[in-house]
Structure 1
Amino acid sequence: MRLTDYTDYSLRVLLYLAVQGNALSTIQDISQAYGISRNHLMKVVQQLAERGWVETVRGRNGGLRFVEHIRDLTVGEVVRATESDFALVACMPDQRGEHRPCVISPQCRLRAALQAARDAFLAELDRHTIGEITQPQGALAALLGMNGAIPILPVASAPMPASAPADGGA
């Protein structure tokens, strides 16, 4: 199962804002931190605000911020709200209850196995809250370049150059 970019970006926005706490952020801040398109984030942020998960502040010094009570929101709840289809195969009912008939349905055990796997996947996501997965916040803040911090990126170690003699080589 692969989550859509929309769900991925929704989770990233919530994580970013949770780490920022009560401080206002802009879509541009989040876009730069993750290296993703500002345009892609605009629709995501609008719908997160409509759900009451993000507060938007209009005006010159506006932005958006995390709604504090959402720290207890589970990753599973976010995924369920942002994904449009959990039918892993065509014979499973989609969001509208529609499915494609299959000739082996009366004896098929695959659909039940896939349903159980999907349910286990979502149950695991339900065990983790947005607040929990943002810990430790300091480390995430540094990786996201918050508060003027320079993002910590893995660097391949290179051999140190030989130093020149102190006397200038004489």
Structure 2
Amino acid sequence: MRLNVQTDYALRLLMHLAVNPDRLITIREAADRFSVSKTHLMKLANAMSHEGFIQAVRGRSGGLRLARPAGEIRVGDVVRRMENDFAVVECFQAGRGECLITPACRLKGVLNRAVEAFLAELDACTLEDLVRANEPLRLMLA
């Protein structure tokens, strides 16, 4: 399983904001820091704002900040909202034809449990867990 680029950038942006809780981070600063398109990051920030993860402050001295404390943002919640599907194989996809072996296949159950375990592990981790006492990260993003 692989997370999409949007999820990757969302998690990076959230860590950047969590490391800098006392100041606003501009789109330009975050885009430059991660070598990401400013336009792409603006779209992502808008989506994350709608999902309630970040707050955008408009204006000349505006920027982004976390919408709630880092300890209240679960990595699993971010991944679920940023990923558009967890169909690791064709038979997980809605509207797809049945595979020949579907009636006897045990793989779908195994893969489903694996995805559930993956998400459970992410649910056990908060944004604060990723940044707390992480001095190397703080030095890179402060």
SS of match in other structure, 2:52:
coil
Alignment correspondent of 2:14: 14
8 Å contact 1:19–1:137 — kept in the other structure? no
8 Å contact 2:51–2:81 — kept in the other structure? no
Alignment correspondent of 1:106: 103
Equivalences for 1:155-166 in 2 at 5 Å?
none
Q: 1:136 to 1:70 in 2, by over 3 A?
A: closer
Alignment correspondent of 2:83: 83
Higher helix share: 2
TM-score, normalising length from structure 2? 0.92
8 Å contact 1:56–1:65 — kept in the other structure? yes
Return the alpha-carbon distance in structure 2 between the equivalents of residues 99 and 125 of structure 1: 28
Alignment correspondent of 2:133: 136
Deviations 1:54-112 (A, max 9, x none): 111111111111123353221111101110011111111x3xx4333111111101111
8 Å contact 2:131–2:138 — kept in the other structure? no
Paired letter, 1:66: L
TM-score, normalising length from structure 1? 0.78
SS of match in other structure, 1:91:
helix
Equivalences for 1:10-159 in 2 at 5 Å?
10-92=10-92, 94=93, 97-144=94-141, 146=142
8 Å contact 2:54–2:68 — kept in the other structure? no
Alignment correspondent of 1:166: none
Return the alpha-carbon distance in structure 2 between the equivalents of residues 58 and 27 of structure 1: 11
Note the residue ranges of structure 1 that are not aligned, 5 or more in a row. Answer: 147-170
Computed over aligned residues only, the root mean square deviation of the Cα atoms, in angstroms, reads 1.4
Paired letter, 1:73: I
Alignment correspondent of 1:2: 2
Note the residue ranges of structure 2 that are not aligned, 5 or more in a row. Answer: none
8 Å contact 1:3–1:83 — kept in the other structure? yes
Instruction: Kindly name which structure, 1 or 2, has the bigger radius of gyration based on alpha carbons.
Output: 1
Higher relative contact order at CA 8 Å, sep ≥6: structure 1 or structure 2? 2
Percent sequence identity over aligned pairs: 41
